[in-house]
Amino acid sequence: MKSVEIIMIPVKDQQKAKEFYLELGFKLLVEAPAEHGETWIQMGLPNSTTTISLAKFQGIIFETEDIKSEIKALVGKGIEVGKIDETQWGKFAWLKDLYGNSLCLHQK
């Protein structure tokens, strides 16, 4: 894994949460329709590469340069990883930690 790319923060009302984070000094990077009729809202602080997403569930997305190699290495360590989803935003593969927290690999 190369870096923490996106921290997904669960919110009940995306628009109210967006206004709150704008007040904190975050900038709106993306607000676009997503799968299942939801909206993807991604925000970031100036001069930072790690961003947040205001979502319906929690998750941390890690950037990787080679998702297949990363998955192979994790599986070799006994870590279960889901299938690779190919989207217009890149390749994604989800896994869970020991406590059920959602983690995701992302290759652009």
pLDDT digits (tens, 9 = 90+) for 71-104: 999 999 999 999 999 988 899 999 999 999 999 9
Question: What integer pLDDT is reported at residue 28 of this predicted model?
Answer: 98
Q: So what's the pLDDT on residue 34? A: 83
Element at 71 (helix H, strand E): helix 67-76
- Could you tell me the two tokens for 29? 């990077």
Share of the chain above pLDDT 90, in %: 89
Domain ranges of the chain: 3-107
Number of Cβ within 10 Å of residue 108's Cβ equals 10
Q: What is the CATH number of domain 3-107?
A: 3.10.180.10
Confidence (pLDDT) at 71: 97
Cα-based angle 51, 60, 106 (whole degrees, multiple of 5): 85
Q: What are phi and psi of 44, to 5 degrees?
A: -150, 160
Please give the pLDDT value at position 30: 95
In the predicted structure, residue 1 carries a pLDDT above the cut 90: no
- Is residue 35's pLDDT more than 80? no
Distance CA 26, CA 68 (A): 33
30-39, 63-72, 79-88 — which is least confidently predicted? Answer: 30-39
Q: Beta-carbon neighbour count of residue 63 at 10 Å?
A: 18
Overall average pLDDT of the 34-52 stretch: 91
pLDDT score of 64: 97
